[in-house]
């Protein structure tokens, strides 16, 4: 089934009312996340807010998936923590630009076709590890501060999860922010707020050249982070694009999306923003609110910036426990809860791959390392599985003619001990070797057949090879192996 890609006109003007309304809802939901992800990355909230504005607006023009929302994300924020801590903000801007350059490169090289090589268990591990990391980043704002902090967190969670009972027209996190900020101010409750951790500048972002030396040294510092971010960003973006494809039953250009993510990050780096990517959660909010086209992402970015410029002085008053509660909700929404039933049903190897992916991410704090480990581990498991050849023997006691059925793939990695399976063939007997469930893949596989035939001939065994498929026969023919007499 091939899905149709929206035309330019459909994507911009096909759903004006729905897109604008959804864009506004998304902008409101973006603010707490952009601030929280900035704090995770260890930068001022403005870095995430500028990034969310710039990425959302730019991707609405150059992205490949209308209806998808991209902005500052947790996955990217987590990948930049160390760079920010050790080298500072200017290096983050440089790394953001380099991330974009790499993503444009991956897009030009058509990276989307390699997505299918990422096993599903690794994908599950990716989202689950992301959820765990987002949650653990909130621990410092929730636990061990004060009794009042717990109260505000619990009150926020209650509003977030219970308000949808009343109406779903207004996003519950926004209601939690408004209600609890008001309560905290009114009663002078002593809890941390956004202003204690950073500043909000009520101005538009301006063009800047990152203040770093243009040297090989700088490249050495930013490259590992940029490479990791370029891959993490595309992984989440292309996964999100597939989800939106399915929901909206329209197609998307994944390589264009990869290039678009790159362009958005390059420009964002020059405007003092941190690298970002598509957001699974926000894109869901967008389509559920009726957003389908490019206009919704554009609206969300522009409206977000308006809110900051006009309401910036209020944003610093948002209590941290409320923000942390919203991020707890985000992490619960990010976690793939059906993974638990998958762990019970899935083959042991796949389940192990998922667990290892999660563990490595949680231990290293780096999503790209977990994905890499998961991909390598499942490749190892796959090779081990595929290089197993089983020879089933059917022995008829009263007859001299026995049947050996080969199950599996005959190739360089699997044929080491192949002829040993035939050690017990009686001298002078007659056997049929059935290849219906097997295939010969390369010269090593054909060589194993050659060795087997030599062994059987030496034992004066009368043999017959049956069920070989055309490509296996071609391989044997090309090496002049006398498989048939």
Interacting residues toward other proteins by CB under 8 A: 1, 3, 115-116, 118-120, 123-124, 127, 161, 164-165, 239, 242-243, 245-249, 280, 284, 287-288, 336-338, 342
- With 0-12 CB in 10 A as exposed, 13-18 as middle and 19+ as buried, what is 438? buried
Neighbours of 444 (CB within 10 A): 16
Min dist. Cβ of residue 456 to other proteins (A): 42
23 or 210, CB closer to other proteins? 23
242 or 387, CB closer to other proteins? 242
52 or 128, CB closer to other proteins? 128
Min dist. Cβ of residue 124 to other proteins (A): 6
Cα–Cα dist 450/433, whole Å: 13
Min dist. Cβ of residue 398 to other proteins (A): 44
Min dist. Cβ of residue 335 to other proteins (A): 10
User: What are the structure tokens assigned to 329, written together?
Assistant: 């909700």
- The DSSP symbol for 207 reads -
What are the backbone angles phi and psi of residue 349, rounded to the nearest 5°? -60, -45
Contact 270, 111 (CB under 8 A): no
Min dist. Cβ of residue 180 to other proteins (A): 20
65 or 102, CB closer to other proteins? 65
161 or 412, CB closer to other proteins? 161
163 or 404, CB closer to other proteins? 163
Min dist. Cβ of residue 286 to other proteins (A): 11
218 or 282, CB closer to other proteins? 282
149 or 250, CB closer to other proteins? 250
Min dist. Cβ of residue 9 to other proteins (A): 23
Strands 401-410 and 430-434, sheet pairing: parallel
Strands 401-410 and 438-440, sheet pairing: parallel
Contact 27, 274 (CB under 8 A): no
159 or 280, CB closer to other proteins? 280
Min dist. Cβ of residue 1 to other proteins (A): 6
- With 0-12 CB in 10 A as exposed, 13-18 as middle and 19+ as buried, what is 183? middle
Strand ranges for 30-158 from DSSP E: 70-72
- With 0-12 CB in 10 A as exposed, 13-18 as middle and 19+ as buried, what is 478? exposed
What are the backbone angles phi and psi of residue 152, rounded to the nearest 5°? -65, -40
Min dist. Cβ of residue 242 to other proteins (A): 5
Whole-number Cα distances in Å, 188 to 42, 183, 184, 261:
28, 8, 6, 43
Cα–Cα dist 306/313, whole Å: 13
Neighbours of 108 (CB within 10 A): 12
């Amino acid at each position: 089934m091939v899905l149709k890609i929206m035309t330019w006109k459909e994507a911009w003007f096909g759903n004006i009312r729905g897109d604008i309304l959804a864009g506004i809802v998304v902008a409101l939901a973006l603010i707490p996340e952009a601030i929280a992800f900035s704090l995770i990355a260890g930068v001022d909230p403005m870095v995430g807010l500028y990034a969310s504005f710039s990425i959302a607006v730019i991707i609405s023009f150059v992205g490949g998936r209308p209806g998808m929302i991209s902005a500052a994300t947790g996955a990217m924020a987590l990948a930049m923590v160390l760079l920010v801590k050790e080298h500072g903000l200017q290096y983050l801007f440089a790394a953001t630009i380099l991330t974009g350059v790499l993503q444009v490169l991956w897009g030009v090289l058509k990276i989307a076709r390699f997505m299918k090589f990422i096993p599903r268990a690794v994908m599950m591990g990716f989202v689950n590890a992301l959820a765990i990391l987002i949650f653990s980043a909130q621990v410092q704002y929730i636990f061990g501060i004060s009794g009042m902090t717990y109260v505000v967190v619990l009150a926020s969670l209650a509003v977030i999860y219970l308000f949808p009972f009343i109406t779903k027209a207004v996003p519950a996190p926004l209601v939690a922010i408004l209600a609890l900020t008001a309560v905290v101010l009114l009663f002078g409750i002593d809890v941390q707020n956004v202003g204690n951790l950073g500043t909000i500048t009520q101005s538009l972002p301006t063009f800047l050249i990152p203040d770093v030396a243009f040297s090989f040294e700088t490249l050495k510092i930013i490259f590992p982070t940029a490479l990791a971010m370029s891959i993490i960003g595309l992984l989440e973006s292309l996964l999100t694009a597939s989800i939106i494809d399915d929901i909206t039953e329209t197609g998307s250009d994944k390589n264009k999306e990869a290039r678009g993510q790159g362009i958005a990050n390059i420009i964002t780096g020059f405007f003092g923003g941190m690298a970002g990517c598509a957001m699974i959660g926000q894109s869901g909010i967008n389509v559920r609110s009726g957003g389908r086209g490019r206009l919704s992402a554009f609206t969300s970015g522009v409206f977000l910036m308006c809110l900051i410029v006009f309401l910036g002085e209020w944003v610093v008053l948002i209590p941290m426990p409320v923000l942390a509660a919203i991020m707890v909700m985000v992490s619960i929404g990010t976690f793939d809860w059906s993974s638990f039933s998958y762990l019970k049903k899935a083959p042991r190897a796949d389940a192990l791959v998922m667990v290892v992916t999660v563990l490595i991410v949680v231990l290293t704090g780096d999503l790209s390392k977990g994905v890499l480990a998961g991909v390598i581990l499942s490749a190892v498991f796959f090779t081990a599985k595929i290089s197993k050849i089983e020879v089933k023997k059917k022995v008829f006691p009263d007859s001299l003619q026995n049947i050996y059925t080969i199950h599996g793939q005959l190739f360089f990695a699997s044929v080491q001990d192949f002829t040993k399976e035939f050690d017990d063939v009686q001298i002078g007997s007659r056997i049929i070797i059935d290849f219906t469930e097997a295939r010969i893949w390369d010269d090593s596989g054909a060589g194993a057949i050659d060795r087997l035939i030599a062994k059987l001939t030496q034992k004066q065994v009368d043999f017959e090879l049956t069920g070989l498929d055309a490509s296996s026969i071609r391989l044997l023919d090309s090496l002049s192996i006398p498989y048939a007499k």
